[in-house]
Amino acid sequence: MMRRRLYLARDTAPAICRTMPPTFAQRFRGKHALITGGGSGIGRAISERFAAEGGHVFIMEINGAAAADAAAAIRERGGTCDVLTADVSDTEAMRVAFAGLPKLDVLVNNAGIAHIGNVLTTTAMDMDRLHAVNVRGVYHGMHFGVPRMIEAGGGVILNICSVAAKLGISDRFAYSMTKGAVLSMTLSVARDFVDRGIRCNCVCPARVHTPFVDGYLAKTYPGREEEMFAKLSAWQPIGRMGQPAEIAALAAFLCSDEAGFITGASYDIDGGVTLLR
């Protein structure tokens, strides 16, 4: 019954509005944070959390409507937010976007796309499409973001990875490939710039209840959404999917000065999937 209520609640206000406490420590006051894919799902939750903690948030989105809606919600709560419309896979668009920032203290590489298929069913086009967004997009963020952080005397990068980077998950061939690359890039950048005041970490969520999940269920399992939602939730030993606000809470800690001794780390936030299944 509990899982059924969770599923039916998905069409109400975004989870972050229901689960975030009314006040926060102002850990990002005076800081500028850019979140790619910051207009929906995990990215929106992170954008809202950083703004609630006093940060000047830049939402980078290819979906202008989603970005505008998220920005409006932030401003209604008294937060500061600007929107950058860009495709993370487009080198020139990313160069221009980062060059136009007044300052960059925090970068969250969140934008990504998914794919279902094994090595036989995944086409070369599928591989190129996922690589363009999930790998090259993260590369662009760090390639253009690191120099801005060096200018500012340091900064923090957080890459949104996945348990798929570490586990053998069926029918996630291309997606797992890209997330493995994100994990490796995280370690490389952390090592190369540790002496320049830049910290770089990643978080590895299991399934998180976002609009993408709802759309996937409606498209793939019409009429069986509740059944499949319960099945996907049960895959996590904790018995449910994560909420975007929970990922945002960990992101806020890792990108804050409280985590100043943490770099080159990968944090599982997976309801027990990695070690308890």
**Catalytic residue list:** 175
Report the distance separating Cα 265 and Cα 191, nearest Å.
11
Report the distance separating Cα 203 and Cα 183, nearest Å.
9
Which alpha helices (DSSP H) does 9-135 contain, by range?
A: 15-19, 41-52, 64-76, 91-99, 124-130
Instruction: Output DSSP code: residue 54.
Output: T
Which residue, 194, 190, 219, 202, is CA-closest to 254? Answer: 202
Complete edge-to-edge strand list for the sheet that includes strand 266-269: 80-85, 56-61, 32-36, 106-109, 155-160, 198-205, 266-269
Residue whose tokens read 């990313």? 94
